[in-house]
Amino acid sequence: KNEVEQSPQNLTAQEGEFITINCSYSVGISALHWLQQHPGGGIVSLFMLSSGKKKHGRLIATINIQEKHSSLHITASHPRDSAVYICAVTADKLIFGTGTRLQVFP
Amino acid sequence: GAVVSQHPSWVICKSGTSVKIECRSLDFQATTMFWYRQFPKQSLMLMATSNEGSKATYEQGVEKDKFLINHASLTLSTLTVTSAHPEDSSFYICSARGTSGSTYNEQFFGPGTRLTVL
């Protein structure tokens, strides 16, 4: 069993839809990261969370430390949001989930 | 925001040659940088942790003599793939952890370097 699990693995949506990606982890952590990786491969750090909720533009990330669960929400999705979204937790090292591949169609 | 650059962004080399990849934190200092590799459609795998002024810490199964890491300054770490072989072809990504201010303890990722060994 992976220490960091994401769901769904693949996700397709129509432009404008509200999207949720989930991340569960089984280890003690000091922080959780949401990363975005575009087809070219480069990685962008979207959020680093240790509690509560953060918002940046159309992106919202929440974390529940007691339940060891985090969600990434995208409001009013757009084709340019198409990417792989990766959840990673900081334990003794950074542990990555396997990613969620999102495709948003016009 | 904090920016990490990698150079080159892609490289093609012949088997047996060595390739050096640079990772720079452009507007912040990073005493710790990390090197990852990623195979197609797989998650990132930590190769080593690079600490400025000291030896890198390698993950289990990563050959330190093959993947030479040098972290000579607070803004530069290099990864040299020595005697590269086709199985070393991969996407190599670095990240840098900020040491102070708004970047403290946050990791910033480079854009990656795609290595193809013929």
Q: What is the pLDDT of residues A29-66, one digit of tens each?
A: 989 999 999 887 788 889 989 999 999 999 999 999 99
Inter-chain contact B111–A35, Cβ cutoff 8 Å?
no
Chain A hits for B95, Cβ within 8 Å: 43, 94
A5 burial level (CB within 10 Å; 0-12, 13-18, 19+): middle
- Closest partner residue to B112 (CB to CB) among A41, A98, A99 is A41
What DSSP character marks residue B56?
Answer: P
A39 burial level (CB within 10 Å; 0-12, 13-18, 19+): exposed
Q: What is the pLDDT of residues B19-59, one digit of tens each?
A: 999 999 998 888 899 999 988 878 889 999 998 888 899 99
Inter-chain contact A45–B114, Cβ cutoff 8 Å?
no
SS3 B86: helix
